[in-house]
Structure 1
Amino acid sequence: MDRYSQTKSNRIFKALTLALGLAAAPLASHAANPFLPGYEYIPDGEPRVFGDRLYLYGSHDKAGSERFCDTILKVWSAPLDNLNEWTDHGIALSTRDVDGHKDDIPYSDNEFYAPDLVEKDGKYYLFAQIVGSPCSVAVSDSPAGPFEVISQIKAPPGSPNDFGGWSQYFDPGVLIDDDGKVYLYFGYGKSCMVQLNPDNMTEVLPGTYQEFVIPEGSPYDYQEGPSPRKINGTYYLVYARGGDLAYATSDTPTGPFAYRGVIVSQRVDAHGGNIHGGLAKLNGQWHIFYHRMTNNTVYSRRACTERVSIEADGSIKLVEQTSLGFEESLDPYKRTQADIACVFRGGSYVTEWDKATRPILGNKNGCVVGYKYFDFGTPLPSQQTTFTIQYRDGSAPGSIELWIGDPAADGEKIASVSVDARQLEESLWRETTIPVPNISGRHAIYLKFASDTQGKSVADLRSFIFTRDTR
């Protein structure tokens, strides 16, 4: 047994864990963005469909971290016919002993970055890049794991060994073509590609290394995170371009790839920071997966998705970030948790208060948070609508304005809640209910915070709900 294989005891432990169901309990959730349970931080998500389930493979962040990623990888999945019901399959790989899971990587204790997984001949190969170490390849009989590390990626003798190149395989993305050839895309700052030996999925075939598969310079501006797909005979590379998730296409897997545009961006109404993701077709509908920043940092990222359309010419139009996730519309008559906001202007941010609570803090004068989109239906003449908001007093008196539509565009302010300044160092969450005009149809909801006192928080936002009652 070589140094890259797992010990017998570790394999037995993993098999028992899976058999006993210790790591695979379905969790009731919502399919809105972010779509996993609020306490779970999965950035760099690679979506893969196997059978009747969607699986998500990505990095793993911590809520209070001061650096990217964690020393574990996890797997989550949901049935395609119910994307509200996500299952946590537990730790897929770890570079250290953690929570009863044995160390899978004897040659490193460092963080994992942005994995990918593909299926070949009934086996599931997980490609896991580790900071400062060559990419590991692990295999399983199930897309949920447990996984066994079988090797590092092995380059031919005499290959270059530069960072982001042969030794690191930064942000690996894998494509198995229709002819069985296996392509591995990777690289930070420059995009690279190799072909792998399909017989073992670990050896780089001599003479296949290419640099700048995605060309240098503008408009490409490649940074990291190549995610390959073959769609309708065309090869797509989705990749991170700073705060933009862009894509390029080619008629061949080796390129040249032509720049096509941006699919989703962190540059508008978002917290900024990096972005990374991939495409998946779910129940006939294409989705782009990406992540958002939370906890007032770029190191606590949560998984999101948006619907996209692939046009007849192969193009994908820029989509806006929404609160929808897998939903077609949100229900205003169910309680909306603050953290599914998709618009942040003026410095507001989501934070993890506790495992069950993720309010929006930093709501100073002029701050705006927005939610897209709610379907209010058609009210009856006999019905009256009320709006209930759960909040905590800030350090400055002011108000929380309720807007239908964007306050910076053609939105309409329909109500306002007065907020007193906090009298004590800490105050309790409170609820206020106010009447509002009846609302019909599909709308974005915005909350704007106002105060005569500058630079101090007006209120912390926890949740809200609309109610329709018969007079």
Structure 2
Amino acid sequence: MKKILFTLLTCCGMSPIFAQQKAPSPVLPGAFADPHVAVFNGKYYIYPTTDGFEGWSSDYFTVWSSKDMKKWKKEGTILDFKKDLTWAQKRAWAPAIAFKNNKYYFYFSADTNIGVAVSDKPTGPFKDALGKPLITKGQYQAQIIDPMVFVDDDGQAYIYFGQGRCYIAKLNPDMISINEASIVSYKPEGYNEGSFLIKRKGKYYLMWSEYDTRDPRYSVAYGVSDSPMGPFVKAQNNPILKGHDEVKGAGHHSVVQVPGKDEWYIVYHRFIIPNGNGYNRETCISPMRFDAEGNILPVEVYEKK
């Protein structure tokens, strides 16, 4: 009944509010943020930032797995900066995962550089592929964080990154180097960080977070293009994810499609309830839907998976 009511209200242009309800519980126990969700061989994985540190000073990454996106199992630490990196020791933020060449490529922020590690399994362990950053701080006019990698149907991979401005480039076939000649930048109104790309029915949706992650107004907006390189036109019905009532700071998301279905879920963080803030965030999942014209409908943060 809740799902039917949600659909009826959103299709009529109204915002469904389940204000009398308690906010859904987070899907991961403890403080985790910037979740990247992926599905491999019918199993779902979340790669988050380990949160709860003043100044976001975590130095390792974990991965969690699930068969139904409801019960999640911790698979362990997959990259530990103190043991696995020689060029960065802290600020392990906002990872991403991609599969190509029969390998799993793990992209991550490390002390405001972007690195890449490789494994034969989605649960790692991952090995630093370069012994240095893939993208170095100061290399472009943005803070070098928040990588996201999208592999298109033709096998071409693209990387999206940057705080303050979004950079887009083609990855070379080895997945550990960038085609520098391809790089473009994009800064829609309101863009801050956390870019993420999906493809649906031939259209490319670039999504991003607006405001600062410490701001209760932190939220997600999007633009659409016919190309993964853009240009992207910002949609009118933004933001599509934001908090209200006791849910605050809902943003820095990723999106997953259920294999074989036009069924989508958005995974994001919010301030821990109660008494959370921009350093103490928790991971949640909500359904994400489209209207008949392909616009993303507003996500209701009180509706859970």
TM-score in terms of structure 2 length: 0.82
- From 251, 254, 262, the equivalent of 2:239 is 262
- Aligned-partner residue type, residue 208 of structure 1: S
Q: Secondary structure at the match of 1:44?
A: strand
Between the aligned partners of 1:76 and 1:280, the Cα distance in structure 2 is 15
Give the superposition deviation at 1:274: 6.4
Between the aligned partners of 2:49 and 2:135, the Cα distance in structure 1 is 24
Give the superposition deviation at 1:194: 1.3
Conserved 8 A contact 2:32-2:50? yes
Mapping of 1:52-131 within 5 angstroms? 52-62=42-52, 65-68=53-56, 70-80=58-68, 83-96=69-82, 103-131=83-111
Deviations 1:323-381 (A, max 9, x none): x432xxxxxxxxxxxxxxxxxxxxxxxxxxxxxxxxxxxxxxxxxxxxxxxxxxxxxxx
Q: Secondary structure at the match of 2:51?
A: coil
Between the aligned partners of 1:291 and 1:239, the Cα distance in structure 2 is 13
- Aligned-partner residue type, residue 186 of structure 1: F
Give the superposition deviation at 1:155: 6.3
Between the aligned partners of 1:321 and 1:301, the Cα distance in structure 2 is 15
Conserved 8 A contact 2:46-2:64? yes
Deviations 1:382-423 (A, max 9, x none): xxxxxxxxxxxxxxxxxxxxxxxxxxxxxxxxxxxxxxxxxx
Conserved 8 A contact 2:250-2:268? no
Conserved 8 A contact 2:114-2:134? no
Mapping of 1:18-417 within 5 angstroms? 32-37=24-29, 40-62=30-52, 65-68=53-56, 70-80=58-68, 83-96=69-82, 103-132=83-112, 134-151=113-130, 152-154=132-134, 161-162=139-140, 164=142, 168=144, 170-198=145-173, 200-212=174-186, 214-215=187-188, 217=189, 221-242=190-211, 243-260=218-235, 261-266=238-243, 268-270=244-246, 272-273=248-249, 275-282=251-258, 284=261, 285-294=263-272, 295-322=275-302, 324-326=303-305
Conserved 8 A contact 1:153-1:202? no
Question: Are residues 293 and 112 of structure 1, via their aligned partners in 2, closer, same or farther at CA, if it must alter by over 3 Å?
Answer: same
Between the aligned partners of 2:297 and 2:126, the Cα distance in structure 1 is 37
- Aligned-partner residue type, residue 304 of structure 2: G
Give the superposition deviation at 1:129: 1.2
Conserved 8 A contact 1:46-1:277? yes
Question: Are residues 222 and 116 of structure 1, via their aligned partners in 2, closer, same or farther at CA, if it must alter by over 3 Å?
Answer: same
Using the aligned pairs only, state the percent identity.
Answer: 31
CA-based RMSD of the aligned residues comes to: 2.1
Between the aligned partners of 2:253 and 2:135, the Cα distance in structure 1 is 26
- Aligned-partner residue type, residue 111 of structure 2: V
Give the superposition deviation at 1:69: 5.2
**Partner in structure 1 of residue 12 of structure 2:** none
Conserved 8 A contact 2:27-2:71? no
Give the superposition deviation at 1:160: 7.1
Higher relative CO (CA 8 A, sep ≥ 6), structure 1 or 2?
2
Give the superposition deviation at 1:67: 2.1
Deviations 1:232-286 (A, max 9, x none): 21111111012111111110011110112222103x2145446200111236431
Conserved 8 A contact 1:153-1:204? no
Q: Which runs of 5+ in 1 are unaligned?
A: 1-31, 97-102, 327-471
Give the superposition deviation at 1:154: 4.4
Between the aligned partners of 1:274 and 1:78, the Cα distance in structure 2 is 22
Q: How many residues are treated as equivalent by the alignment?
A: 269
Conserved 8 A contact 1:234-1:249? yes
Mapping of 1:418-457 within 5 angstroms? none
Between the aligned partners of 1:69 and 1:211, the Cα distance in structure 2 is 28
Deviations 1:90-114 (A, max 9, x none): 1111212xxxxxx111111111110
TM-score in terms of structure 1 length: 0.54
**Partner in structure 2 of residue 12 of structure 1:** none
